[in-house]
Structure 1
């Protein structure tokens, strides 16, 4: 989004340069009062109870502000008109069981105690918005259900670069399937690992890190290899050389199948949320209905037996390019002037 408006100032709750993209170092960034607390910068979830008041006190002086929000940014005060690119209405308010899956008693109690005041705050914030954009059809429907607001779908772009330099990671088999995901309970990587443990002839590479990593490694068989954070050139190599991608998470927007498609690779994905927009069944991938190892195994087998058209896959990815996203977002801003 910043590349679409490179001269725009950025307002955010917290900014830790070493923990985000280096390109932001050259940007004009304004943070909330929470920035003063180093513990919040290192562990942003600790700031949860304070984010609503922090954004309520954030004043943005601009004719038009674009708020990229999955729970907080839409509450900022804007002198001009406010556009919200919504990744999802707050999960902790509208999908609490899914959001809190695998979390401890403390997190559940904190969420329950704050839910009522945060719900009131969220509803007020939503009504202050001049125009809502949703990153997927599923998110558009959630916005309508939560706020009674009709949103335009503006899909998030992928950032895959098939023509970029690629480097092979060490220890990766010649033939493998790929899973790219943060290692969190709702990502359902455990179901993928368990499915592949029943298919020992297939190699699985899991790219990602997160608090569920130790548990997932304990479930994995010898044909599953974990790679934590990999540089882009290694990720592009993995996409370009895998047989297929497997994605079982509850995603608001299904990004990884598009990255795979940019390299001409199909996906096996959960029939849910954003994947319904990013995967065309039978053309760019195969769906399974629930994140269950048996269903995943059946879908992987079906995908492996099908012949895929690489041109169709790449054409699908092109519809979600950064250029297409920037062009539509600029057009929306011009409509609002």
Structure 2
């Protein structure tokens, strides 16, 4: 294609440190010559590995406030995506709600982490009712959601192929868009090989929770579970809107440490020296248990969603039935009382190795490039709904 790329990558926004961003980086490693298109890029807010990449941003990226606080950009992201056409034979889009809408002159493959939670799981995404901030967010989404749902479904319809990260995501894609998606689980990105640095004041033997601090992650439930477990310590890695309320909650609980964002060397140390990972969140893919397993550590997780694909009850971890502190404490107690075989855990993580993921992406790209070679290039556009008044 004259003036275009063979393969290009797309991602919603590179402004935070989460599982979707780690998968986008694996995709970038798989296609090192491909540019990465995104709406917003905040180098200090996301993983440093984005730095060497050819990151190409939307016009919205000129607004510094939005780079630092991408949630404020929600009414503007659909127009920003529409204003960022990608000239390429094949686009691989890593999407949780926006990147699948980038217009392209070639074939489009969407790797879906989940259909947009704020559109289809609004109550779960916002958390329990109460408080002015939650009310304002719910009000804003109530005004914007109808138009964004229409845009979102049309954007999904511009894809030539859909990939899902888990069984539950494939089911959500089918129910939301009427599209059958191939399940391609991503690999654990945080692996034992690499530098390790002990965080100040943390001794081995703690429970570990790695999560962005959002309502649906239910980190407060994990904290309250530890409150019911005398002598048990908890380290929480992550940042987000719930940080202040969690800090208030643990003021009288010195056994809980909120360490915020940490670099990879400290995260490796935390995985290696924890007693178990604990997660009570509603996840479409359970990435952190695979990372814990790679270090030979078990997980205590909610019996829901993507965790059902990545944790084997009684083999690589303990499951609990609801995000309830008593149930979490009971399951964590079982995990701490057991002796786990690290070889079983690391072998489980190896089943999700990066080589398998990358090989399948390469095969899909070859298939789509072959198809693109036999079709006339076009530039698809996804109309943007006007913001309701």
TM-score (norm 2): 0.84
Greater relative contact order: 1 or 2 (C-alpha under 8 angstroms, separation 6 or more)? 2
Q: Quick one: distance in 1 between partners of 2:223 and 2:137? A: 27
Deviates further, 322-331 or 257-266: 322-331
The equivalent of 2:338 in structure 1 is 306
The equivalent of 1:138 in structure 2 is 168
The equivalent of 2:258 in structure 1 is 226
Selected match of 2:270 from 238, 250, 256: 238
Superposition deviation, residue 218 in structure 1: 2.8
The equivalent of 2:95 in structure 1 is 69
Cα deviation digits, residues 83-124 of structure 1 (max 9, x gap): 000011111211111112255222111111111111111111
Deviates further, 15-24 or 39-48: 15-24
Superposition deviation, residue 178 in structure 1: 1.1
Q: Quick one: distance in 2 between partners of 1:211 and 1:72? A: 21
Selected match of 1:280 from 294, 304, 312: 312
Q: Quick one: distance in 1 between partners of 2:316 and 2:118? A: 32
Structure 1: 4+ residue segments shifted above 4 A: none
* Count of aligned pairs: 337
Q: Quick one: distance in 1 between partners of 2:138 and 2:207? A: 35
SS at match of 2:88: coil
CA gap of 1:36–1:137, structure 2 versus 1, over 3 A, is same
Selected match of 1:257 from 277, 280, 289: 289
Cα deviation digits, residues 42-90 of structure 1 (max 9, x gap): 2111111011122123211111101111111111111111000001111
Q: Quick one: distance in 1 between partners of 2:227 and 2:42? A: 39
The answer to whether residue 153 in structure 2 is matched with residue 123 in structure 1 is: yes
Q: Quick one: distance in 2 between partners of 1:81 and 1:229? A: 37
The answer to whether residue 69 in structure 2 is matched with residue 43 in structure 1 is: yes
The answer to whether residue 182 in structure 2 is matched with residue 164 in structure 1 is: no
The answer to whether the 8 A contact 1:159-1:321 is kept is no
Selected match of 2:350 from 294, 318, 326: 318
The answer to whether residue 104 in structure 2 is matched with residue 78 in structure 1 is: yes
The answer to whether residue 219 in structure 2 is matched with residue 189 in structure 1 is: yes
The equivalent of 1:111 in structure 2 is 141
Q: Quick one: distance in 1 between partners of 2:235 and 2:326? A: 19
Superposition deviation, residue 173 in structure 1: 2.6
SS at match of 1:226: strand
The equivalent of 1:327 in structure 2 is 359
The equivalent of 1:33 in structure 2 is 59
Q: Quick one: distance in 1 between partners of 2:269 and 2:70? A: 32
SS at match of 1:290: coil
CA gap of 1:240–1:60, structure 2 versus 1, over 3 A, is same
Deviates further, 191-200 or 305-314: 305-314
Cα deviation digits, residues 287-311 of structure 1 (max 9, x gap): 1010100100110111122232211
The equivalent of 1:58 in structure 2 is 84
Note the aligned Cα RMSD (angstroms). 1.4
SS at match of 1:160: coil
SS at match of 1:158: coil
Q: Which runs of 5+ in 2 are unaligned?
A: 1-26, 371-389
